[in-house]
Structure 1
Amino acid sequence: MQVILIQDVDNLGGANELVTVKNGYARNYLIPQKFAVEASPSNLKQLNEKLKVKKKKEDKMLAEINQVIAKLQEGAIKLGAKTGTSGKIFGSITALQISRAIREQKGYEIDRRKISIPDDVKELGQYKASVDFGNGITTELDFEVVAE
């Protein structure tokens, strides 16, 4: 029997997926527990519509992400930091400071948890950080630490 899964089921499949299972498993467990619906022509039509809408949303989101990536790669972000006489920063640059600088200089709100800095930034100069947008999409971000 073919069923359309409504939600993820372990060892079977994910939501909005068409799977073939034994009749008893579908009638006695999946359908009564609201994990699946029978794969009738009308339900298959609804599934196709859901998948089309989901695809459109993903395409729109991908276009927005590419626009943000292009804006972030236009130029380096400048971060001001207090320094001592030797050029070392008091403390270090954090992802929160980079997130605030992106919001102020580029106009985009990026969560600090999505920004990762590979090494400690404790001196003035040019550095790189990576921004993870999810779904395997990451980009390099250049930033420069200057004296305040």
Structure 2
Amino acid sequence: MDVILLEDVKKLGKKGEVIKVSDGYARNFILPKKLGVEATAKNINDLRLQKEHDKKLAQEMLEEAKALAAKIEEKPVVLAIKTGEGGRSFGSVSTKEIAKAVTDQLKLEIDKKKMVLENPIKTLGTHTVTVKLHKDVTAQLTVKVVEE
């Protein structure tokens, strides 16, 4: 019997695949547990339409991420930190502070978890922070750290 999987099944296949299994296995395991449906012409057509819809949504998300990346790379974000004698800083700038500054200055919402910062910024000057917006799109955010 041909079955369309609705979920990933270990050692059998991934969601959306059409697989051939024995009638008993399909009737007693896959169909009752809602892991798959019988591969009729209607169900195969529904699967094709669903895949096209998912592909369209993924393309729209990619376009939105590219547009957001362009906005991020346009302008720098300016942050002020306290410094002592000789330009030594008190504390550091973290992704949480950068995300808040982006929201305040650029009017964009960026999750702090999407920013890649190996070490917190502890020096004055211009720094570049990588922002992962999509699996295929990354942006370079310019952060200018000035003395308060």
TM over 0.5: yes
Q: Kindly state the Cα deviation for residue 46 of structure 1 after the two structures are TM-superposed.
A: 0.8
What is the RMSD of the two structures over their aligned residues, measured on CA atoms? Answer: 1.6
Paired amino acid for 1:28? N
1:50-69 CA distances to partner (integer Å, 9 max, x unpaired)? 11111111111111100000
1:4-59 CA distances to partner (integer Å, 9 max, x unpaired)? 11122222233222223233322221111110001100001111111111111111
Q: How many residues align?
A: 148
Once residues 16 and 108 of structure 1 are traced to their aligned partners in structure 2, the CA distance between those partners, rounded to angstroms, is 36
Q: Relative to structure 2, which stretch is displaced further, 25-34 or 36-45?
A: 25-34
Q: TM-score, normalised by structure 1?
A: 0.90
Of all paired residues, the percent bearing the same amino acid is 36
Structure 2: unaligned runs, 5 residues or longer: none
CA contact (8 A) 2:9 2:35 kept: yes
Paired amino acid for 1:76? P
Structure 1 residues 20 and 135: CA distance shift in structure 2, 3 A? farther
Secondary structure of residue in 2 paired with 1:66? helix
Once residues 97 and 104 of structure 2 are traced to their aligned partners in structure 1, the CA distance between those partners, rounded to angstroms, is 11
Secondary structure of residue in 2 paired with 1:89? coil
Paired amino acid for 1:43? N
Secondary structure of residue in 1 paired with 2:68? helix
Q: TM-score, normalised by structure 2?
A: 0.90
Q: Could you tell me which residue of structure 2 aligns to residue 76 of structure 1?
A: 76
Runs of 4+ in 1 over 4 A off after TM superposition: none
Once residues 3 and 138 of structure 1 are traced to their aligned partners in structure 2, the CA distance between those partners, rounded to angstroms, is 39
Q: Could you tell me which residue of structure 2 aligns to residue 63 of structure 1?
A: 63
Q: Could you tell me which residue of structure 2 aligns to residue 110 of structure 1?
A: 110
Q: Could you tell me which residue of structure 2 aligns to residue 47 of structure 1?
A: 47
CA contact (8 A) 2:5 2:37 kept: yes
Secondary structure of residue in 2 paired with 1:122? coil
Q: Could you tell me which residue of structure 2 aligns to residue 120 of structure 1?
A: 120
Once residues 131 and 53 of structure 2 are traced to their aligned partners in structure 1, the CA distance between those partners, rounded to angstroms, is 27
Once residues 82 and 12 of structure 2 are traced to their aligned partners in structure 1, the CA distance between those partners, rounded to angstroms, is 56
Q: Relative to structure 2, which stretch is displaced further, 120-129 or 95-104?
A: 120-129
Once residues 108 and 16 of structure 1 are traced to their aligned partners in structure 2, the CA distance between those partners, rounded to angstroms, is 36
Q: Kindly state the Cα deviation for residue 134 of structure 1 after the two structures are TM-superposed.
A: 4.0
Higher helix proportion: 2
Once residues 88 and 75 of structure 1 are traced to their aligned partners in structure 2, the CA distance between those partners, rounded to angstroms, is 26
CA contact (8 A) 2:69 2:137 kept: no
Structure 1: unaligned runs, 5 residues or longer: none
